[in-house]
Structure 1
């Protein structure tokens, strides 16, 4: 008769223990990062290739910026003759 409430016994195994706040925060951050990654690469067959292409593009832009800032001529040369 008294088994319908967890405090009266028998239901101690059914109680879900919540993790400490730091562990919970870490789990939420990992889940958010996973969701963000999934939405970023939605419809992309090869995400590694996309990352390599993006890094290469950034390198090229950085190289162009450093080349033009040093007075290198912008990459074009005039040739006469």
Structure 2
């Protein structure tokens, strides 16, 4: 069984910053009602809404000139609110 992978928002946003796009500019270009503060939240481990995540992935792909298949990913971790079944 393969391990589920999720986008590594820290790496994605950091790539954009190193490419010369400040967080406020990322938020402005995405035009999704995001702020630099919200991007910092994602970078610290928060998960964006689906449409915001898709917009961020598309912008990353265009700016980095890479395929979405090359998107930085990390192992999926279940949220703390998900109840675990006892065996």
TM-score exceeds 0.5:
no
The TM-score normalised by the length of structure 2 is 0.23
The TM-score normalised by the length of structure 1 is 0.25
More helix by share: 1
Structure with larger Rg: 1
More strand by share: 2
